[in-house]
């Protein structure tokens, strides 16, 4: 069994220095050292502590002048790791997350070593009280966050990618900036025959938050939803998916301003170019359905 070489990538906007410090210290306490650590300052100069910390593995700090959004910033890290050419698996972590257990990287390494078709491993996200928000469970309905297994998506805050998978599927959709980028990448992975595993034993501690805390949430959520289906779904499923999500949005959203922004983003998604259209195959639709989440829900 060949042990894959692990890297860790963190993207930060520079506004959480204490949290990034704690996260990097938790990486340093892992019982196996990552081969490389890449820290990206997304639209900022990285805090000096990020450059001074004594960390295991080779540490690379990158300042990016413009905020590229979460997927764009992560692509910067992936590009640098690809240039190095000596990493098999990358673990991407939110800058306000924390690895509580010291064996997370070792468990990730062992999972990938055991299955050459494992593409994505999603971590369990829980707050300081051990609570997991339902939106962080990659299954439909009120699923048990402790039930692992193969799924159709993964959690953006804490996950691992096989670099060979990314070479086949492509990286994050940077133009999304924020919202639904995980689904776009997950659908490409499944369509290419890679497995996505939800591993709840891999814990990322993360504050309890709402995506609506971001001012752009309603607009980009709707715009990216339209872009996602225009890019990835067979044509007959596009109106079905968008119809289902429009009804759900009307039922769930209580803010008139939020609804106005959502429909503005929806129109933007229809009007603006969505990027390359590469729809999934019908057998992928069936595979997603068998895994519990047909791509219209």
From first CA to last CA, the distance across the chain in angstroms is 38
Question: Does 104 share its domain with 134?
Answer: yes
Question: Does 77 share its domain with 198?
Answer: yes
Give the domain CATH number at 32: 3.90.550.10
Residue 270 domain flag: yes
Could you tell me the residue range of the domain that residue 157 belongs to? 6-209
Question: Does 157 share its domain with 263?
Answer: no
Residue 99 domain flag: yes
Question: Does 67 share its domain with 129?
Answer: yes
Residue 269 domain flag: yes
Residue 291 domain flag: no
Question: Does 173 share its domain with 55?
Answer: yes
Which one of 209, 233, 251 terminates a domain? 209
Q: Which pTM was predicted?
A: 0.94
Residue 238 domain flag: yes
Question: Does 91 share its domain with 220?
Answer: no
Question: Does 178 share its domain with 231?
Answer: no
Question: Does 164 share its domain with 77?
Answer: yes
Residue 162 three-state SS: strand
Cα–Cα distance, 282 to 290 (Å, whole number)? 12
Q: What is the residue-level pLDDT of the chain in tens, covering all 297 positions?
A: 689 999 999 999 988 888 998 999 999 999 999 999 999 999 998 866 555 555 666 789 999 999 999 999 999 999 999 999 999 999 999 999 999 999 999 999 999 999 999 999 999 999 999 999 988 899 988 789 999 999 999 999 999 999 999 999 999 999 999 999 999 999 999 999 999 999 999 999 999 876 655 558 899 999 999 999 999 999 999 999 999 999 999 999 888 999 999 999 999 999 999 999 999 999 999 999 999 999 998
Residue 244 domain flag: yes
Question: Does 165 share its domain with 270?
Answer: no
Strand spans (E) along the chain: 6-12, 36-42, 58-64, 89-94, 118-126, 149-150, 158-162, 195-205
DSSP H/E element including 239: helix 238-252
């Amino acid at each position: 069994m060949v042990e894959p070489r692990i890297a860790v990538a963190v993207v930060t906007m520079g506004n959480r220095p204490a949290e990034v410090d704690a996260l990097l210290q938790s990486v340093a306490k892992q019982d196996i050292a990552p081969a490389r650590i890449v820290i990206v300052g997304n639209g900022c100069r990285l805090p000096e502590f990020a450059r001074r910390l004594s960390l295991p593995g080779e540490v690379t700090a990158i300042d990016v002048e413009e905020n590229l959004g979460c997927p764009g910033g992560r692509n910067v890290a992936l590009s640098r790791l690809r240039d190095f050419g000596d990493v098999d698996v990358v673990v991407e972590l939110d800058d306000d997350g924390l690895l509580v257990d010291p064996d997370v990287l070792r468990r990730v390494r062992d999972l990938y070593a055991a299955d050459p078709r494992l593409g994505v491993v999603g971590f369990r996200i829980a707050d300081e009280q051990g609570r997991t928000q339902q939106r962080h469970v990659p299954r439909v309905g009120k699923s048990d966050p402790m039930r692992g297994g193969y799924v159709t998506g993964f959690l953006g805050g804490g996950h691992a990618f096989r670099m060979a998978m990314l070479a086949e599927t492509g990286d994050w959709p940077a133009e999304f900036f924020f919202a639904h980028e995980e689904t776009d990448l997950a659908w490409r992975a499944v369509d290419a025959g890679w497995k996505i595993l939800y591993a709840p034993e891999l814990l990322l501690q993360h504050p309890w938050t709402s995506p609506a805390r971001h001012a752009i949430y309603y607009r980009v959520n709707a715009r990216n939803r339209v872009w996602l289906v225009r890019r990835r779904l067979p044509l007959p499923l596009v109106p079905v998916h968008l119809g289902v999500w429009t009804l759900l949005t009307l039922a769930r959203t209580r803010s008139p301003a939020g609804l106005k922004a959502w429909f503005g983003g929806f129109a933007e998604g229809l009007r603006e170019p969505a990027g390359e259209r590469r729809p999934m195959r019908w057998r992928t639709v069936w595979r997603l359905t068998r895994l519990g989440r047909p791509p219209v829900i």
